[in-house]
Amino acid sequence: MIRNNPCIQGPLFAALALASGATFAAELGRPVEAKAVQHTNFSLGLIASDSDTKDSTSTGTFGLGGVVTMPVGRIFGASLAGAYSRSTARTSDVLLDVSASNETRPSCRFNNTDLSASVFARWPTLGRVSVGYGNGKLTSDCGEESAFVSTGDDELGTDNYRAAAEAYLGDFTFGAAHTSTELEDGPKLESNIFNASWYPIDSVRVTLSGGDLYEQDTYGIELEHQPEFMGDSLGVVLGYSVVDREQEVGTINFSVVYHFGTKVELKTRDREYR
């Protein structure tokens, strides 16, 4: 029998081992299938900003936000996001103190909650197109006798509709987004933003943006970095933007984001996981 013949047994086992090794090597070398989102992932971050209006009072905001992104088939993906923030701001003509003969209050605190969802199609070597919807609620924390102009009470709801597209070209990404915001019992606000991003290295992104924000010119710069010593799981974002109007508004943004379960470089994250 073959199993008792050492002359046959040795070459046979060697052939089987070689075939198994070749199959295993082929599996290791097989490229990962290109998908809109490689696998479901979750990010959670702290957000802070400070806005300064020329010849007026600044606004400080601090909050927490999270987003989960998931694949839907091969070329489609979806994301769900939520955020809560608290601001201390000059109210201008947005909020009235009804107990003071409709005179504007000099300052006030606001609580803001936002929920949003988006679906997108992406080709990792070409680009991405997306549509999304968001719902927000802004409440004032200024006592019982304060009211938003459009609603007449201390709550203001918002509905946001967004369409965006971006194209990948080597170490550059070019994008455009249109957002329509409907205020509760108030006007509709439109914005168009264009941006260009550059990855000098795969863990750093520099983004320049500009456009029409609610009929006012705006432009900005943002830097995001994923330090390698943090295992490609922590991202730090610093940005500055300006709304160009008679009373110019400058805003500094800072955020720290932790990405759960995805230790990949920033460029890969932007194009295969977000």
The CATH number assigned to the domain with range 36-272 reads: 2.40.128.130
CA 35 vs. chain centroid, Å, equals 19
Q: Which of 174, 215, 69 is nearest to 132 (CA)?
A: 69
Answer positive or negative: Cα dihedral of 112, 115, 120, 126: positive
pLDDT at 224: 97
pLDDT at 5: 45
pLDDT at 140: 81
Q: In what side-by-side order are the strands of the sheet with 95-97?
A: 103-104, 95-97, 146-148
Pairing relationship of beta strands 216-225 and 188-201 according to DSSP bridges: unpaired
pLDDT at 149: 61
pLDDT at 150: 58
pLDDT, tens digit (0-9, with 9 covering 90-100), for 58-111: 788 999 999 999 999 999 999 999 999 998 876 554 445 555 545 555 567 889
Which parts of the chain register pLDDT below 50?
Answer: 1-31, 93-95, 101
- The DSSP result for 114-137, as a single string, is EEEEEEEEEETTTEEEEEEEEEEE
